Structure 1
Amino acid sequence: MLSGVCVEPGRFSLIERDLPVTAPPGWVLVDLAAAGICGTDYHIFEGKHPYLEYPRVIGHELSGYVAVDADGWIKGQLVVINPYIACGKCRACLRGKPNCCMAIGVLGVHRDGGMCERIAVPAGNLYDASALSVRDAALVEFLAIGAHAVRRSEATSGDRVLVTGAGPIGLGTALFARLAGAEVHLMDMSAERLEAAKAFGFSRLHMPDRPLLEGELADGFDVVFDATGSPKAMEAGFGHVAHGGTYVFVSVVKGDLTFSDAEFHKREMKLVGSRNAQTPDFLHVMDALSSGDIDGGKLVSTVLALEELPEKLPALAADRSSLIKVLVALPAWKLGHG
């Protein structure tokens, strides 16, 4: 089968690999239909991901069809794949937090992913996507990142929220913060991304080079989410949190961050890390897509064939300010309705 492999930083190739025909007990073979490209994939291509060894088959935002009846799953059933494969034995797993398992193996990062024809995954990592299209099913994982961050923040109706970074993850976070009833503000250094956010009904938009904490916003925000992947922006975000507020790091960066402990304590601020997502987040996203609370069509910037990716990935990685989500159509896409 043809597989999309990041061989080394800056080098992405299509390589023939064996098609899996059997799966271990408790695992299910899935024929892949669509894969989203996200910041993680771009970082892998650029050599900026902190947890990766090359070569690696990328792709963790996945939809597909069950290839063979197994463990309660029926051949031809459309599924969403949860790419976070946990050990089930460590303290985090035993406390119901497999998303931050001590030995986690994320598809497309710690182990080969789904930019290919077929993959084997644990049966417990599948969700029935019969209420969704192939396209929307491939959007679930990236939206679940934002849904998880909002759940971690405990944001609720009436909260004033700032999401810094209006890329795909930030936009997803903003969408679910709004569904929670919050007043949502977005900040980004890209006027193009802020303009794109208007299509989703966001109107409280800010550039970082303009005064923010003034007038009715002088007291700050009850919840601030950082989705920039920029250490400078993450450090600056501490100053945007209101007294008694919460700061959520959705993005992750290499290296250390610094902040004023005096300001942190004075505000009795809560600092929260948000990593990956859990089953309730996947189900929440799927409900939002199937109900129309979130329009998946607005999130997709373009759909590419796998064969186009070696040529187009460098340009996508170099300039993605105008992109929300790029989907790659995989062999099983034709079985669905898009």
Structure 2
Amino acid sequence: GVHVDGGMREYLSVPSKTLLHGEDLSYDELALVEPLAIGAHGVRRADVQPGEFVLVIGAGPIGLGTMEFARIAGAKVIALDINNDRLAFCKDKLKVDHVINALDNDVIDQLSKITNADMPTVVIDATGNQKAINNAINYMAHGARFVLIGLQKGDLIFNHPEFHKRESTLMSSRNANIEDFEHVIKSMKAGLVNPTNYITHQVKFEEVKDEFESWLDPKNGVIKAMVSID
């Protein structure tokens, strides 16, 4: 586990006060609560307000959940990724307002046009990629909040003058807490989140060994693969 060893054990003793009621959600839905809570926590860290332009960099599972909860918070969401299939998913399934391919030469111009030249007031990185983090500095409005959900495994280096002149706020967002879990569960119960959007593959436990490597190929379109145990 994150804070306590033994997360892969069959049984683990924890205080009852740390448990949340599943609210009659299915096993598949409950399995999505934790990854979605990570994005929900990042949105809460950013204190996203209704009507704000929120740019989410990275359309992996964590980034998608971040977009979902930014939308629920009332933001105008912009998705940035290099995978056109994922961007189409953002638009069609998650109802993201705007999508941009990060490989385009005019990303800043597109952001300026979308935001009426104001640029996003919240930028959330869900990649942990050093180049993406550096580029994000140029995408922010004056006084923007920049939240790092993705983890850069090394020194964090960026252009100080570009960051400084915007009077930006830099925040990290690590995991989630009980409030985020509760928010995700309530959002599912209220129909604000459609868990089936994320579940792209279903396999039996005994099939995992044969299927796992194929999940690493982006062409297979895996977002979340559910493993069933009889």
Using the size of structure 1 for normalisation, the TM-score is 0.63
User: What SS is found at the alignment partner of 1:143?
Assistant: helix
CA shift for structure 1 position 224:
0.5
Pairwise mapping of residues 35-46 of structure 1 onto structure 2 (< 5 A)? none
Pairwise mapping of residues 322-337 of structure 1 onto structure 2 (< 5 A)? 322-331=221-230
Cross-structure match for 1:120: 12
Following the alignment from structure 1 to structure 2, what is the Cα–Cα distance between the partners of residues 284 and 170? Answer: 17
Following the alignment from structure 1 to structure 2, what is the Cα–Cα distance between the partners of residues 151 and 203? Answer: 20
User: What SS is found at the alignment partner of 1:244?
Assistant: coil
Cα 1:236–1:133 change in 2 (3 A) is same
Cα 1:326–1:144 change in 2 (3 A) is same
Q: Percent identity?
A: 36
Pairwise mapping of residues 151-162 of structure 1 onto structure 2 (< 5 A)? 151-162=44-55
Cross-structure match for 1:190: 83
CA shift for structure 1 position 209:
2.0
Following the alignment from structure 1 to structure 2, what is the Cα–Cα distance between the partners of residues 199 and 181? Answer: 17
1:201 aligns with one of 83, 90, 95: 95
**Does 2:22 correspond to 1:129?**
yes
2:107 aligns with one of 212, 217, 241: 212
Q: Which runs of 5+ in 2 are unaligned?
A: none
Contact 1:193 1:321 in 2 (8 A): no
**Does 2:137 correspond to 1:228?**
no
Following the alignment from structure 2 to structure 1, what is the Cα–Cα distance between the partners of residues 87 and 169? Answer: 27
Contact 1:190 1:321 in 2 (8 A): no
Cross-structure match for 1:271: 170
Contact 2:67 2:77 in 1 (8 A): yes
CA shift for structure 1 position 220:
1.7
For these two proteins, the number of residue pairs brought into alignment is: 223
Contact 2:108 2:138 in 1 (8 A): no
CA shift for structure 1 position 320:
6.8
**Does 2:33 correspond to 1:140?**
yes
Following the alignment from structure 1 to structure 2, what is the Cα–Cα distance between the partners of residues 150 and 276? Answer: 12
More strand by proportion, 1 or 2? Answer: 1
CA shift for structure 1 position 327:
1.2
**Dislocated runs of 4+, deviation >6 Å:** none
1:303 aligns with one of 202, 206, 210: 202
**Does 2:145 correspond to 1:246?**
yes
Following the alignment from structure 1 to structure 2, what is the Cα–Cα distance between the partners of residues 320 and 130? Answer: 35
CA shift for structure 1 position 160:
0.5
Instruction: Give the structure with higher Rg (CA).
Output: 1
More helix by proportion, 1 or 2? Answer: 2
Contact 2:128 2:148 in 1 (8 A): no
Q: Which runs of 5+ in 1 are unaligned?
A: 1-82, 85-103, 106-110, 332-338
Following the alignment from structure 2 to structure 1, what is the Cα–Cα distance between the partners of residues 11 and 103? Answer: 46
Following the alignment from structure 1 to structure 2, what is the Cα–Cα distance between the partners of residues 276 and 230? Answer: 18
**Does 2:62 correspond to 1:163?**
no
CA shift for structure 1 position 183:
0.4
**Does 2:215 correspond to 1:316?**
yes
What is the root-mean-square deviation in Å for CA atoms of aligned residues? 1.7
User: What SS is found at the alignment partner of 2:142?
Assistant: strand
